[in-house]
């Protein structure tokens, strides 16, 4: 999925950094579009998207955070 999405975070639209450390906010992760915790969806490739570690953590299970708000916050965080 990372390659499919060209390592672009599908939440904020900015590139992830495949060379970053796993603890770095820009590290690429896989985000479940329909949360397993909430909707019981699986790891089907159509249910996964590339996301920065930071965006994925902040978005959480999607019930408490709006993806558009997280994307805007990420663009401010990463672009100044």
pLDDT in tens, 22-77: 999 999 999 988 876 665 667 888 889 999 999 999 988 665 568 889 999 999 99
pLDDT the model gives residue 39: 59
Residue carrying the six token digits 């590290």: 27
* Residues 63, 71, 73, 39, Cα dihedral to 10°: 10
Domain of 69 in residue numbering reads as 1-80
DSSP 8: B
The pLDDT confidence band at residue 8, using thresholds 50, 70 and 90, is: very high
Tally of structural domains, the chain: 1
Any idea how long the chain is?
Answer: 80
pLDDT the model gives residue 14: 97
Q: How many Cβ atoms sit within 10 Å of the Cβ of residue 29?
A: 18
């Amino acid at each position: 999925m990372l390659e499919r999405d060209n390592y672009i975070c599908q939440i904020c639209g900015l590139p992830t950094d495949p060379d970053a450390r796993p603890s770095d906010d820009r590290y690429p992760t896989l985000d479940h579009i329909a949360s397993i915790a909430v909707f019981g969806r699986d790891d089907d490739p159509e249910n996964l998207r590339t996301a920065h570690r930071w965006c994925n953590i902040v978005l959480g299970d999607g019930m408490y955070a709006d993806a558009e708000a997280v994307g805007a916050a990420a663009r401010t965080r990463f672009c100044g």
